[in-house]
Structure 1
Amino acid sequence: MTVPINTNLAQLFMRAFYWAEEGLQNTLKERGWAQITKAQSQVFISIGEGVTRPSEIAARMSVTRQAIHQTINELVEFGYVSLEPDPSDRRAKIVTYTEKGHEIGQNTVLGLSEIEAQLIARIGVDNVQALREALCQNWGEPYVPVEMQA
Protein backbone atom coordinates (compact mmCIF):
# COMPACT_ATOMS: atom_id res chain seq x y z
CA MET A 1 0.00 0.00 0.00
CA THR A 2 1.38 3.37 -0.99
CA VAL A 3 0.36 6.24 1.27
CA PRO A 4 0.43 9.76 -0.17
CA ILE A 5 3.29 11.79 1.32
CA ASN A 6 0.86 14.54 2.34
CA THR A 7 -1.10 12.22 4.64
CA ASN A 8 -1.39 13.96 8.01
CA LEU A 9 0.73 12.00 10.50
CA ALA A 10 -1.10 13.40 13.54
CA GLN A 11 -4.38 12.01 12.21
CA LEU A 12 -2.73 8.66 11.55
CA PHE A 13 -1.32 8.61 15.11
CA MET A 14 -4.78 9.31 16.52
CA ARG A 15 -6.42 6.68 14.31
CA ALA A 16 -3.86 4.12 15.47
CA PHE A 17 -4.35 5.15 19.10
CA TYR A 18 -8.14 4.80 18.85
CA TRP A 19 -7.77 1.42 17.12
CA ALA A 20 -5.57 0.14 19.96
CA GLU A 21 -7.74 1.75 22.66
CA GLU A 22 -10.93 0.21 21.28
CA GLY A 23 -9.23 -3.17 20.97
CA LEU A 24 -8.06 -2.89 24.57
CA GLN A 25 -11.57 -2.01 25.74
CA ASN A 26 -12.87 -5.06 23.87
CA THR A 27 -10.32 -7.39 25.48
CA LEU A 28 -11.05 -6.02 28.97
CA LYS A 29 -14.80 -6.36 28.41
CA GLU A 30 -14.30 -9.96 27.27
CA ARG A 31 -12.45 -10.62 30.54
CA GLY A 32 -15.34 -9.18 32.58
CA TRP A 33 -14.04 -5.69 33.35
CA ALA A 34 -16.28 -2.63 33.17
CA GLN A 35 -15.42 -0.17 30.42
CA ILE A 36 -13.18 2.69 31.44
CA THR A 37 -12.95 6.02 29.67
CA LYS A 38 -9.99 7.14 27.58
CA ALA A 39 -9.13 9.63 30.33
CA GLN A 40 -9.16 6.86 32.95
CA SER A 41 -7.02 4.73 30.66
CA GLN A 42 -4.50 7.57 30.36
CA VAL A 43 -4.33 7.87 34.15
CA PHE A 44 -3.56 4.14 34.33
CA ILE A 45 -0.80 4.53 31.74
CA SER A 46 0.67 7.51 33.62
CA ILE A 47 0.76 5.61 36.91
CA GLY A 48 2.37 2.64 35.17
CA GLU A 49 5.08 4.96 33.85
CA GLY A 50 5.75 6.33 37.34
CA VAL A 51 3.81 9.60 37.07
CA THR A 52 1.74 9.45 40.25
CA ARG A 53 1.02 13.01 41.41
CA PRO A 54 -2.36 14.24 40.17
CA SER A 55 -0.88 17.62 39.17
CA GLU A 56 1.78 15.90 37.03
CA ILE A 57 -0.80 13.57 35.45
CA ALA A 58 -2.97 16.60 34.63
CA ALA A 59 -0.03 18.42 33.03
CA ARG A 60 0.92 15.33 31.04
CA MET A 61 -2.64 14.98 29.73
CA SER A 62 -3.07 18.74 29.17
CA VAL A 63 -6.18 18.90 31.37
CA THR A 64 -7.00 20.88 34.48
CA ARG A 65 -6.21 19.57 37.93
CA GLN A 66 -9.94 19.63 38.65
CA ALA A 67 -10.63 17.39 35.66
CA ILE A 68 -7.92 14.92 36.66
CA HIS A 69 -9.18 14.81 40.24
CA GLN A 70 -12.64 13.92 38.92
CA THR A 71 -11.16 11.13 36.80
CA ILE A 72 -9.05 9.85 39.69
CA ASN A 73 -12.05 9.95 42.03
CA GLU A 74 -14.00 7.81 39.55
CA LEU A 75 -11.16 5.27 39.57
CA VAL A 76 -11.12 5.38 43.39
CA GLU A 77 -14.88 4.64 43.39
CA PHE A 78 -14.28 1.65 41.07
CA GLY A 79 -11.64 0.43 43.51
CA TYR A 80 -8.82 0.58 40.94
CA VAL A 81 -6.64 3.24 42.60
CA SER A 82 -6.19 4.97 45.92
CA LEU A 83 -4.90 8.39 46.88
CA GLU A 84 -2.11 8.21 49.44
CA PRO A 85 0.07 10.84 51.12
CA ASP A 86 3.22 11.55 49.13
CA PRO A 87 6.16 10.44 51.32
CA SER A 88 8.36 13.17 49.82
CA ASP A 89 5.83 16.01 50.28
CA ARG A 90 3.18 15.81 52.99
CA ARG A 91 1.06 18.45 51.24
CA ALA A 92 0.74 16.33 48.10
CA LYS A 93 -0.93 13.03 47.32
CA ILE A 94 0.05 10.25 44.97
CA VAL A 95 -2.14 7.83 43.06
CA THR A 96 -1.38 4.14 43.53
CA TYR A 97 -2.93 0.97 42.17
CA THR A 98 -5.09 -1.09 44.51
CA GLU A 99 -5.07 -4.88 44.28
CA LYS A 100 -8.01 -4.62 41.88
CA GLY A 101 -6.06 -2.00 39.91
CA HIS A 102 -3.10 -4.39 39.62
CA GLU A 103 -5.49 -7.09 38.35
CA ILE A 104 -6.90 -4.88 35.61
CA GLY A 105 -3.32 -3.81 34.83
CA GLN A 106 -2.28 -7.43 34.32
CA ASN A 107 -5.31 -7.97 32.08
CA THR A 108 -4.36 -4.82 30.18
CA VAL A 109 -0.86 -6.16 29.51
CA LEU A 110 -2.34 -9.42 28.23
CA GLY A 111 -4.84 -7.51 26.10
CA LEU A 112 -2.15 -5.31 24.60
CA SER A 113 -0.13 -8.42 23.71
CA GLU A 114 -3.17 -9.83 21.90
CA ILE A 115 -3.69 -6.53 20.08
CA GLU A 116 -0.05 -6.47 18.99
CA ALA A 117 -0.29 -10.07 17.77
CA GLN A 118 -3.40 -9.10 15.79
CA LEU A 119 -1.57 -6.12 14.29
CA ILE A 120 1.31 -8.40 13.26
CA ALA A 121 -1.18 -10.77 11.64
CA ARG A 122 -2.77 -7.89 9.75
CA ILE A 123 0.20 -5.80 8.57
CA GLY A 124 3.17 -8.11 9.08
CA VAL A 125 5.98 -8.41 11.58
CA ASP A 126 8.37 -6.25 9.52
CA ASN A 127 5.91 -3.34 9.43
CA VAL A 128 5.22 -3.60 13.16
CA GLN A 129 8.96 -3.67 13.89
CA ALA A 130 9.56 -0.66 11.61
CA LEU A 131 6.73 1.19 13.37
CA ARG A 132 8.19 0.36 16.79
CA GLU A 133 11.66 1.52 15.71
CA ALA A 134 10.32 4.80 14.28
CA LEU A 135 8.30 5.54 17.41
CA CYS A 136 11.26 4.76 19.68
CA GLN A 137 13.53 7.29 17.96
CA ASN A 138 14.47 10.38 19.95
CA TRP A 139 12.29 13.03 18.34
CA GLY A 140 13.69 15.80 20.53
CA GLU A 141 11.60 18.51 22.11
CA PRO A 142 8.23 19.40 20.53
CA TYR A 143 8.41 21.78 17.59
CA VAL A 144 8.18 25.50 18.37
CA PRO A 145 7.63 27.92 15.45
CA VAL A 146 10.38 30.51 15.00
CA GLU A 147 7.92 33.33 15.82
CA MET A 148 7.32 31.81 19.27
CA GLN A 149 11.03 31.39 20.04
CA ALA A 150 11.73 35.12 20.42
Structure 2
Amino acid sequence: MSRELPRFEGQERPTNTVNLLREAFTALNDRAHARLAERGHGVVRPAHGAVFQYLDDTGTPVARLAERAQMTKQAMSELVAHLEHHGYVVREPDPADRRAKLVTPTAKGREVFALVGELVPEIELDIAALLGVERAAALREDLERLRVHATP
Protein backbone atom coordinates (compact mmCIF):
# COMPACT_ATOMS: atom_id res chain seq x y z
CA MET A 1 0.00 0.00 0.00
CA SER A 2 1.10 3.52 -0.62
CA ARG A 3 0.43 4.75 2.91
CA GLU A 4 -0.74 3.74 6.36
CA LEU A 5 -4.38 2.74 6.49
CA PRO A 6 -6.74 4.08 9.16
CA ARG A 7 -7.50 2.02 12.23
CA PHE A 8 -10.86 1.29 13.81
CA GLU A 9 -11.25 -0.27 17.24
CA GLY A 10 -7.51 -0.92 17.35
CA GLN A 11 -7.28 -2.72 14.02
CA GLU A 12 -6.90 -1.78 10.38
CA ARG A 13 -10.29 -1.10 8.90
CA PRO A 14 -11.62 -3.98 6.84
CA THR A 15 -11.00 -3.51 3.15
CA ASN A 16 -13.62 -3.69 0.46
CA THR A 17 -13.50 -3.48 -3.30
CA VAL A 18 -13.99 0.29 -3.42
CA ASN A 19 -11.19 0.87 -0.88
CA LEU A 20 -8.90 -1.47 -2.78
CA LEU A 21 -9.60 0.37 -6.05
CA ARG A 22 -8.76 3.68 -4.38
CA GLU A 23 -5.58 2.33 -2.79
CA ALA A 24 -4.43 0.82 -6.09
CA PHE A 25 -5.12 4.16 -7.79
CA THR A 26 -3.22 6.02 -5.07
CA ALA A 27 -0.19 3.73 -5.37
CA LEU A 28 -0.08 4.17 -9.15
CA ASN A 29 -0.75 7.91 -8.88
CA ASP A 30 2.16 8.23 -6.43
CA ARG A 31 4.43 6.83 -9.17
CA ALA A 32 3.27 9.54 -11.55
CA HIS A 33 3.94 12.27 -9.00
CA ALA A 34 7.36 10.88 -8.18
CA ARG A 35 8.18 11.00 -11.91
CA LEU A 36 6.92 14.57 -12.15
CA ALA A 37 9.05 15.57 -9.17
CA GLU A 38 12.13 13.92 -10.73
CA ARG A 39 11.54 16.04 -13.83
CA GLY A 40 11.27 19.33 -11.94
CA HIS A 41 7.52 19.47 -11.29
CA GLY A 42 7.54 18.88 -7.54
CA VAL A 43 4.97 21.60 -6.89
CA VAL A 44 2.35 19.50 -8.68
CA ARG A 45 0.70 17.46 -5.94
CA PRO A 46 -1.80 14.58 -6.20
CA ALA A 47 -4.71 16.97 -5.54
CA HIS A 48 -3.81 18.83 -8.74
CA GLY A 49 -4.77 15.73 -10.68
CA ALA A 50 -8.34 17.00 -10.33
CA VAL A 51 -7.35 19.91 -12.57
CA PHE A 52 -5.20 18.06 -15.08
CA GLN A 53 -7.55 15.09 -15.39
CA TYR A 54 -10.55 17.24 -16.33
CA LEU A 55 -8.85 20.09 -18.20
CA ASP A 56 -9.61 20.38 -21.92
CA ASP A 57 -6.59 21.39 -24.00
CA THR A 58 -8.60 24.33 -25.38
CA GLY A 59 -9.52 25.53 -21.89
CA THR A 60 -12.21 24.79 -19.33
CA PRO A 61 -14.13 27.08 -16.96
CA VAL A 62 -13.43 26.51 -13.24
CA ALA A 63 -17.09 25.66 -12.65
CA ARG A 64 -16.96 22.87 -15.23
CA LEU A 65 -13.67 21.55 -13.80
CA ALA A 66 -15.27 21.48 -10.35
CA GLU A 67 -18.35 19.70 -11.66
CA ARG A 68 -16.29 17.09 -13.49
CA ALA A 69 -14.10 16.50 -10.41
CA GLN A 70 -17.14 16.45 -8.11
CA MET A 71 -15.77 19.15 -5.86
CA THR A 72 -16.74 22.69 -4.91
CA LYS A 73 -15.94 25.57 -7.19
CA GLN A 74 -14.02 27.18 -4.33
CA ALA A 75 -11.80 24.13 -3.83
CA MET A 76 -11.14 23.88 -7.56
CA SER A 77 -10.34 27.61 -7.67
CA GLU A 78 -7.65 27.08 -5.03
CA LEU A 79 -6.07 24.25 -7.01
CA VAL A 80 -6.16 26.33 -10.19
CA ALA A 81 -4.68 29.36 -8.38
CA HIS A 82 -1.75 27.24 -7.18
CA LEU A 83 -1.09 25.90 -10.67
CA GLU A 84 -1.48 29.36 -12.17
CA HIS A 85 0.98 30.82 -9.65
CA HIS A 86 3.53 28.18 -10.67
CA GLY A 87 2.97 28.65 -14.41
CA TYR A 88 1.07 25.47 -15.30
CA VAL A 89 -2.20 27.11 -16.34
CA VAL A 90 -3.52 30.55 -17.20
CA ARG A 91 -6.99 32.01 -16.91
CA GLU A 92 -8.09 33.71 -20.10
CA PRO A 93 -11.37 35.31 -21.16
CA ASP A 94 -13.81 32.82 -22.65
CA PRO A 95 -14.55 33.96 -26.22
CA ALA A 96 -18.02 32.36 -25.95
CA ASP A 97 -18.87 34.11 -22.66
CA ARG A 98 -17.12 37.38 -21.80
CA ARG A 99 -18.08 37.00 -18.13
CA ALA A 100 -16.30 33.66 -17.79
CA LYS A 101 -12.65 32.71 -17.83
CA LEU A 102 -11.15 29.56 -19.28
CA VAL A 103 -8.39 27.68 -17.49
CA THR A 104 -5.89 26.74 -20.19
CA PRO A 105 -2.68 24.73 -19.88
CA THR A 106 0.59 26.55 -20.55
CA ALA A 107 3.62 24.95 -22.17
CA LYS A 108 4.69 23.89 -18.66
CA GLY A 109 1.25 22.34 -18.08
CA ARG A 110 1.41 20.53 -21.40
CA GLU A 111 4.77 19.12 -20.30
CA VAL A 112 2.99 17.52 -17.32
CA PHE A 113 0.49 15.93 -19.72
CA ALA A 114 3.38 14.64 -21.85
CA LEU A 115 5.29 13.18 -18.89
CA VAL A 116 2.22 11.40 -17.56
CA GLY A 117 1.47 10.22 -21.10
CA GLU A 118 4.94 8.63 -21.22
CA LEU A 119 4.37 6.90 -17.89
CA VAL A 120 0.98 5.37 -18.72
CA PRO A 121 2.35 2.71 -21.11
CA GLU A 122 4.97 1.76 -18.50
CA ILE A 123 2.26 1.27 -15.90
CA GLU A 124 0.14 -0.73 -18.33
CA LEU A 125 3.13 -3.01 -19.01
CA ASP A 126 3.77 -3.40 -15.27
CA ILE A 127 0.13 -4.37 -14.70
CA ALA A 128 0.32 -6.90 -17.55
CA ALA A 129 3.56 -8.32 -16.14
CA LEU A 130 2.04 -8.63 -12.68
CA LEU A 131 -1.37 -10.02 -13.66
CA GLY A 132 -0.67 -11.54 -17.04
CA VAL A 133 -1.84 -10.07 -20.33
CA GLU A 134 -5.27 -11.73 -20.32
CA ARG A 135 -6.09 -10.82 -16.72
CA ALA A 136 -4.88 -7.23 -17.30
CA ALA A 137 -7.20 -6.96 -20.32
CA ALA A 138 -10.07 -8.47 -18.32
CA LEU A 139 -9.39 -6.01 -15.49
CA ARG A 140 -9.67 -3.08 -17.91
CA GLU A 141 -12.92 -4.47 -19.28
CA ASP A 142 -14.31 -5.02 -15.80
CA LEU A 143 -13.32 -1.54 -14.64
CA GLU A 144 -14.95 0.01 -17.70
CA ARG A 145 -18.09 -2.02 -17.07
CA LEU A 146 -18.14 -0.82 -13.45
CA ARG A 147 -17.57 2.77 -14.53
CA VAL A 148 -20.43 2.70 -17.00
CA HIS A 149 -22.78 0.82 -14.68
CA ALA A 150 -22.04 2.98 -11.64
CA THR A 151 -22.48 6.29 -13.48
CA PRO A 152 -25.78 7.88 -12.40
Identify the range of structure 1 (74-83 vs 126-135) with the bigger mean alpha-carbon deviation. Answer: 126-135
TM-score w.r.t. structure 2 length? 0.79
Give the SS at the match of 1:139: helix
CA distance, structure 1, for counterparts of residue 57 and residue 150 of structure 2: 19
Say how many residue pairs are matched.
137
Question: Counterpart in 2 of 1:148?
Answer: none
Q: Does structure 1 retain, via aligned residues, the 8 Å contact 2:56–2:104? A: no
Q: CA deviation at 1:140?
A: 5.5
Instruction: For residues 8-43 of structure 1, give each alpha carbon's deviation from its aligned partner in whole angstroms, at most 9, with x where no partner exists.
Output: 221122012101111111222233321422221121
CA shift for structure 1 position 85: 1.1
| Matching of residue 88 in structure 1 with residue 118 in structure 2 | no
Q: Which runs of 5+ in 1 are unaligned?
A: 1-6, 143-150
How far does the alpha carbon of each residue in 1:68-114 deviate from its partner, in whole angstroms, 9 at most, with x for none? 11110100111111111112111111111101111121011012222
* Partner of residue 124 from structure 1, selected from 108, 126, 132: 132
Question: Residue 93 of structure 2 contacts residue 101 of structure 2 at CA under 8 Å; is this kept in 1?
Answer: yes
Q: Which amino acid aligns with 2:77?
A: H
After superposing on structure 2, the runs of 4+ consecutive aligned residues of structure 1 that deviate more than 6 Å are none
Backbone CA RMSD of aligned residues:
2.2
Tell which has more relative contact order, 1 or 2 (C-alpha 8 A, sep 6+): 1
Q: Equivalent residue for 1:24?
A: 32
Matched, 1:38 2:46: yes
Q: How far apart, in 1, do the equivalents of 2:48 and 2:83 lie?
A: 7
State the TM-score, normalizing by the size of structure 1.
Answer: 0.80
**CA–CA distance in 2 between the matches of 1:115 and 1:35?**
22
The structure 2 residue matched to 1:65, chosen from 56, 66, 73, is: 73
For structure 2, the residue ranges without an aligned partner over 5 or more in a row are 1-14
Alignment identity in percent?
Answer: 36
Q: Which residue of 1 aligns with 2:20?
A: 12
Q: Classify 1:32/1:124 alpha carbon distance in 2 versus 1 (closer, same or farther; 3 Å).
A: farther
